[in-house]
């Protein structure tokens, strides 16, 4: 099963190929995608992405997760979250969201089992 490419990205809007949903923030993995609702885990820009935010994705058989920190990189990714990802034997790429989407789409095209979590505003 492959990960769905990100079809489009602009401030506050993301479209995942094969989905009719227009996302502000989203999670993607091999065979799926959904809204990333920060209220589920109490996520804020600081301290940022929590282990609970990525747990669903890293349990989908991925080799690497790409984390988009926002267009202006306001979203933090604490070391605790990166350590959690590494403890599962998964690599993480943390990038500005436009760069993160480009890298994610490249990995999808290359056939890598990749997941992603993206913030499309600040």
Task: Note the pLDDT tens digit of each residue in 11-70.
Answer: 999 999 999 999 999 999 999 999 999 999 999 999 999 999 999 999 999 999 999 999
The answer on pLDDT for 1 being more than 90 is no
Domain-embedded: residue 99: yes
Number of domains forming the structure of the chain: 1
Domain-embedded: residue 21: yes
Question: How far apart are alpha carbons 42 and 29 in whole angstroms?
Answer: 22
Domain CATH code at residue 48: 3.40.1230.10
pLDDT for residue 45: 94
Domain-embedded: residue 56: yes
Domain-embedded: residue 72: yes
Task: Note the pLDDT tens digit of each residue in 58-100.
Answer: 999 999 999 999 999 999 999 999 999 999 999 999 999 999 9
CA nearest to 60, candidates 3, 111, 19, 118: 3
Domain-embedded: residue 1: no
Phi and psi at residue 108, to the nearest 5°: -60, -50
- pTM here is 0.96
* Range of the structural domain that residue 39 is part of: 6-119
Question: How far apart are alpha carbons 98 and 119 in whole angstroms?
Answer: 10
Domain-embedded: residue 60: yes
């Amino acid at each position: 099963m492959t990960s769905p490419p990100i079809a489009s990205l602009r401030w506050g809007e993301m479209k995942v190929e094969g989905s009719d949903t227009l996302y502000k923030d989203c999670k993607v993995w091999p065979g799926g995608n959904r809204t990333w609702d920060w209220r589920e885990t109490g996520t804020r820009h600081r301290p940022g992405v929590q282990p609970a935010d990525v747990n669903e994705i890293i349990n989908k058989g991925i080799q690497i997760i790409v984390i988009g920190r926002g267009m202006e990189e306001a979203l933090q990714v604490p070391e605790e979250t990166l350590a959690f990802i590494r403890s599962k034997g998964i690599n993480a790429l943390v990038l500005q969201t436009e760069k993160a989407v480009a890298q994610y789409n490249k990995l999808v095209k290359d056939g890598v089992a990749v997941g992603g979590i993206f913030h499309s505003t600040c």
